[in-house]
Structure 1
């Protein structure tokens, strides 16, 4: 399995520790709940993308550790047929939509696209098919991470389920180290200076990645993985004019992990933010 192989061969001891801890959380969840009782909230953001590949590795290691084809772990193209939830809104970046759907197809995700607000969509989803636990890409420092642990029950007033946060203690540096070490494909917006992606109304490239090309005397943005200080991750989150807001409605959130969690959304204060928080 290429993810596990890449991590076992890595010299980054911190990343190895973070990886092993996340895999332990995933395997614990898969031991506590039946596979059909768990779901994955995917939104196309970097954190959610990291979690997808951790789930692939965790699922592979959980299913009785099958033999690698020809003794080469990299030849084992593991898909993870986990029930996947994607909250899509009119304010989602087209690049995020495209990447999310393409990734779901590539890795055989059983993805359900929901075009409702998160709470209503979640209630309908759980009524249709009972789900006891949802894997989320929440990290410490996210607006919705306060008080959460690796296993955290949903908040009062929301449908009951367990929030499973395998990368809760991962830093910005850890996320990009994992992506680059495992050579994982990610949304193209991150190569254009976006470091924290929300909706099209509150997200711009991170100014700390702006530089000048001396030959053309034009400014351009370096890719997200070159941001030296992870504390500046959300520096590109700026409010823009929203036609939805001008009509009296809030900009919709994109699900339990909101590509990166809408700070001013009432959803953020409740359970999980999925929508315009891609991180």
Structure 2
């Protein structure tokens, strides 16, 4: 059964909401202002379609759900009446309610302690009515819905997530799951959008992101992102037991913060693809050694579109170049194919390859490469 965390009701629960909205409105990034306006609209529509007690927010302490938390705060602030919130030249009518939205947190023994600490501290600061579940997502929701029916759940899902395939901003739950509407206000946000929001609005986030983690799962399948690695350095540690007379401790690798990752396509480069990969890691003083891996972490499929290539009029240079670039950053190429300029054939191939590749990248004789999954 779920355990409900009873939190003191604080009048200051909505403190900082207008500062956040003003920060977004005042920033020079038109793209971010547009993304926020669209996300607020999705939240508004959800609150118009469902009663407040029929909706919940799934919070996991990660960067995406942290962004969604503050967008929800903008739409559901402690108050007594409706308020019109301005984002740029447009208006979004958001409900101000005198209570916080129901928040679901799936507590796991394999979660990072920093994630747990950040989640509970966030719940305390923002007066979240948090319900803690100690089951997997499907079983936990089934148990929760028996006692407290929910018709819609706000999720921090983004289009690049593995579970986002086929989803839209409003997506009914899959067959075999409890019936509810998955609401994805930031579905179309990029990695860059997420960090732009967090930094512009100056809101707290889990400190693991400052240690090189860019996508956080469990302690068993998550490592700092090697794309953020900086030159290793020696640490002076007088308490360390060393055989050397200098008292210099072993090399320690350091990482830049997650918001400095230039290529958002590498967001999940620190996530081990399969659980069995954890057993293949070489452990040194309890720290997994990514450099000791014998196989790539991720796989890709490269699709090249062009009737000219099929007719033999031009050579497939872009597909070869893209394959080399992916291999250069540690990816394995699972499949490469040349397709005709037919949207149905392309869509079918992308869907098929998405099932066994971490990314499907499509290029042609005319256009620049683009990642479709």
Greater share of residues in strand: 2
Match of 1:180 among 199, 202, 205: 199
Residue 192 of structure 1 is matched in structure 2 by 211
Match of 1:65 among 48, 58, 83: 83
Residue 228 of structure 1 is matched in structure 2 by 262
Matched ranges for 1:94-113 at <5 A: 94-113=113-132
Matched ranges for 1:93-242 at <5 A: 93-212=112-231, 219-238=253-272, 239-241=277-279
Q: Secondary structure at the match of 2:83?
A: coil
Q: Report how far residue 119 of structure 1 moved.
A: 1.5
Q: Secondary structure at the match of 2:197?
A: helix
Moved over 6 A (4+): 213-217
Q: Secondary structure at the match of 2:34?
A: helix
Q: Report how far residue 218 of structure 1 moved.
A: 5.6
Unpaired segments ≥5 residues, structure 1: 68-77, 243-268, 270-279
Q: Secondary structure at the match of 1:11?
A: coil
Tell me how far apart the structure 2 counterparts of residues 219 and 155 of structure 1 sit (CA, whole Å): 42
Tell me if structure 2 keeps the 8 A contact 1:212–1:218. Answer: no
Q: Report how far residue 117 of structure 1 moved.
A: 1.8
Tell me if structure 2 keeps the 8 A contact 1:80–1:109. Answer: no
Q: Report how far residue 241 of structure 1 moved.
A: 3.6
Give CA-to-partner distance per residue, 1:38-82, whole Å, 9 cap, x none.
000000000010000010012249950189xxxxxxxxxx99611
Tell me if structure 1 keeps the 8 A contact 2:78–2:99. Answer: no
Tell me how far apart the structure 1 counterparts of residues 23 and 99 of structure 2 sit (CA, whole Å): 18
Tell me how far apart the structure 1 counterparts of residues 142 and 129 of structure 2 sit (CA, whole Å): 18
Matched ranges for 1:18-57 at <5 A: 18-57=35-74
Tell me if structure 1 keeps the 8 A contact 2:230–2:256. Answer: yes
Greater shift after overlay, 183-192 or 208-217? 208-217
- Say which one has the larger Rg: 2
- The question of 1:14 aligning with 2:50 is answered no
Greater shift after overlay, 197-206 or 118-127? 118-127
Q: Report how far residue 12 of structure 1 moved.
A: 0.7
Q: Which has the higher contact order (CA 8 A, sep 6+)?
A: 1
Tell me how far apart the structure 1 counterparts of residues 198 and 78 of structure 2 sit (CA, whole Å): 19
Q: Secondary structure at the match of 1:144?
A: helix
Tell me if structure 1 keeps the 8 A contact 2:76–2:101. Answer: no
Greater shift after overlay, 179-188 or 1-10? 1-10
Tell me how far apart the structure 1 counterparts of residues 25 and 197 of structure 2 sit (CA, whole Å): 12
Q: Secondary structure at the match of 2:76?
A: helix
Tell me how far apart the structure 1 counterparts of residues 156 and 125 of structure 2 sit (CA, whole Å): 20
Give the alignment's TM-score, normalised by structure 1.
0.79
Unpaired segments ≥5 residues, structure 2: 1-17, 86-96, 236-250, 281-354, 356-373
